[in-house]
Amino acid sequence: MDLNLLSRVSAYEWHIPQKGTMRVPGIIYADESLVRDMDLKVYEQVVNVATLPGIVQASFAMPDAHWGYGFPIGGVAAFDPQQNGVVSAGGVGFDISCGVRALYTGLRTDDITPVKEKLADLLFAQVPAGVGSTGRLHLKSKEMDNMLAGGAQWAVQQGYGTVKDLSRIEEHGCMAGAKPGCVSDHAKKRQQDEMGTLGSGNHYLEIQEVVETYHDPLSEKLGIHTGDILVSIHCGSRGLGHQIGTEYLKKMVEAASRYGITLPDRELACAPIDSPLGQEYLGAMRAAMNCALANREIVTHLVRQAFSEIFPQTSLPLLYDVSHNTCKMEEHQIGGRSRRLFVHRKGATRAFGPGHASIPADLQAFGQPVLIGGTMGTASYLLVGTKEGMALAYGSACHGAGRSMSRHQATRQWKGQRVIQELAAHGIFIRSPSARGVAEEAPGAYKDVSAVVDAAEQAHLARKAAKMRPLICIKG
């Protein structure tokens, strides 16, 4: 991106001045190097989002922002229903409530090393991953609706996971306001065999070693120390979310002119929050969020089963579960008064600061845990939300490394088996049904996650609490 297009406010904050049909300015949080490496499309997409009705304050981009569909991935925008604000299916995307959770094993690196191969095989056999994989749970109509209404709470009632898990999941494991009746039969059919599956692409199940802590009070509170072993699960609402995204994008594109909305890009398809279509979409999207929360809870159950075969004494408590790709109704202080806004985070993570009522009571003094997924060869991070971040971008942070090259380019540069061998030489065991899928996900195809996280910290969006590196990665 050409820096001349931007106004530099600080080393980590860049503004796109309001012009033309923009209703608010654009704000990018990143260092100069990350901004330079961003595609010009990110600039265009931040500007396009700024033109949507009812947008408040600014159209934001996080440090990992890259070219997305309509919104940039790493985009954050809030809309006020009292100012004809909109909800955008494109602003949430296809992989609704895709997210990351971390489990605490109570094990140390030395415990894992002798059984790493066996554990990798067990997890790969236990957790369905990749294209065409199906779960053992096949939901009929009534149970599907119960799942869509209940989320992880439903999963726990069915015997997957524990009640204790729920307190460490956003929305206590169940997104209120879900309307299974707004989810089409097509979307439900697409999901009926996919509960408890990882999916493919950038989704993964990892066994990670904590390699650094930053003396942060949150890592102390969570009992995380260097050499500890964590489990990280990255997956979402599977076929149901994809189908809801597809169907409501089309409905919103067709309805835009009826609502008097001019779309600079059809992928920004949206509807007024208080319109029938806006409310229908919110009901369906919240159901998809519950699907994602239930899915991660079931995958967690499968991981616990696999671990119990080797480490029967472990219980793998949930540290925290975060969602990306959401639109949530939140109260934020704007100009000294509280306003009820619909905050879209597309490839961005909620990162509420200390004291926020949405954070579990025992963690409220510290700030919300934020889990940042890296690549299978680099690192992942535990961050914590800050007080400053609440005023910067509605309590939001980055969500991952972000791709630096296309999947096609990656397959021209790397072979899957070679990637697997090279990572094994570094002590990282990969299990995947697709060698080409591994090549497309090669660590070199992504930006430097550490640079992204450093920028998020320097911008005061969130601060570092722990760094993890993968030991085992199950790839879809």
Tokens coding 363 = 């963690």
How many H-runs (helices) and E-runs (strands) does the chain carry? 16, 19
Q: Output DSSP code: residue 27.
A: E
Q: Which one of 25-33, 243-251, 298-306, 391-399 is the stretch in contact with other proteins (CB under 8 A)?
A: 243-251
324 binds other proteins per the rule CB under 8 A:
no
Minimal distance, residue 407 CB to other proteins, in Å: 5
Minimal distance, residue 432 CB to other proteins, in Å: 10
245 binds other proteins per the rule CB under 8 A:
yes
By CB under 8 A, the residues from 52 to 71 that bind other proteins are 69-70
Can you list the alpha helix ranges (DSSP code H) found in 38-114? 40-49, 89-92, 109-112
Q: Which is nearer to other proteins, 139 or 231 (CB)?
A: 139
# chain residues binding other proteins, by CB under 8 A: 40
Q: In the set 51, 88, 200, 290, which binds other proteins (CB under 8 A)?
A: 200
Q: Which is nearer to other proteins, 329 or 435 (CB)?
A: 435
239 binds other proteins per the rule CB under 8 A:
yes
Q: Which is nearer to other proteins, 156 or 195 (CB)?
A: 195
Q: Which is nearer to other proteins, 200 or 290 (CB)?
A: 200
Site string for other proteins, 414-453 (x = CB under 8 A): -------------------xxxxx--x-------------
Q: Which is nearer to other proteins, 36 or 250 (CB)?
A: 250
Tokens coding 90 = 């494109």
Tokens coding 311 = 């480490």
**Cβ-proximal residues to 246 (8 Å cutoff; 6+ apart), any chain:** 94
Minimal distance, residue 448 CB to other proteins, in Å: 22
Q: In the set 116, 221, 251, 266, which binds other proteins (CB under 8 A)?
A: 266
Q: In the set 3, 40, 131, 176, which binds other proteins (CB under 8 A)?
A: 131
By CB under 8 A, the residues from 361 to 420 that bind other proteins are 406-408
Q: Output DSSP code: residue 234.
A: E
Distances (CA, A) of 252 to 184, 278, 285, 390: 15, 9, 14, 30
User: Residue 422: which region, alpha, beta or left (left: phi > 0; alpha: psi -120 to 50)?
Assistant: alpha
By CB under 8 A, the residues from 68 to 127 that bind other proteins are 69-70, 90, 93-95
Distance, CA of 262 to CA of 219 (rounded, Å) = 47
Minimal distance, residue 311 CB to other proteins, in Å: 29
Q: Which is nearer to other proteins, 243 or 290 (CB)?
A: 243
Q: Which is nearer to other proteins, 241 or 389 (CB)?
A: 241
Q: Which is nearer to other proteins, 73 or 147 (CB)?
A: 73
Residues 74-107 as b/e (b if ≥16 CB within 10 A, e otherwise) read bbbbbbbbeebbbbbbbbbbbbbbbbbbbbbbeb
176 binds other proteins per the rule CB under 8 A:
no
Minimal distance, residue 253 CB to other proteins, in Å: 7
Tokens coding 458 = 């320097």
User: Which amino acid is it at 130?
Assistant: G
> Could you tell me which of 213, 237, 212, 266 has the C-alpha nearest to residue 88?
266
Q: Could you give the angle at the alpha carbon of 120 between the alpha carbons of 118 and 121, nearest 5°? A: 65
Q: Give the torsion sign (CA, 58, 92, 382, 32).
A: negative
**Cβ-proximal residues to 306 (8 Å cutoff; 6+ apart), any chain:** 119, 122, 123, 125, 126, 127
Q: In the set 75, 81, 128, 199, which binds other proteins (CB under 8 A)?
A: 199
Distance, CA of 383 to CA of 465 (rounded, Å) = 5
Catalytic annotation, residues: 399
CB 287 within 8 A of CB 90: no
Q: In the set 25, 130, 180, 470, which binds other proteins (CB under 8 A)?
A: 130
Q: Using CB under 8 A as the criterion, which residues of the chain lie in contact with other proteins when the complex forms?
A: 69-70, 90, 93-95, 130-132, 134, 186, 189-190, 199-201, 239, 241-243, 245-246, 249-250, 253-254, 265-267, 269, 406-408, 433-437, 440, 476
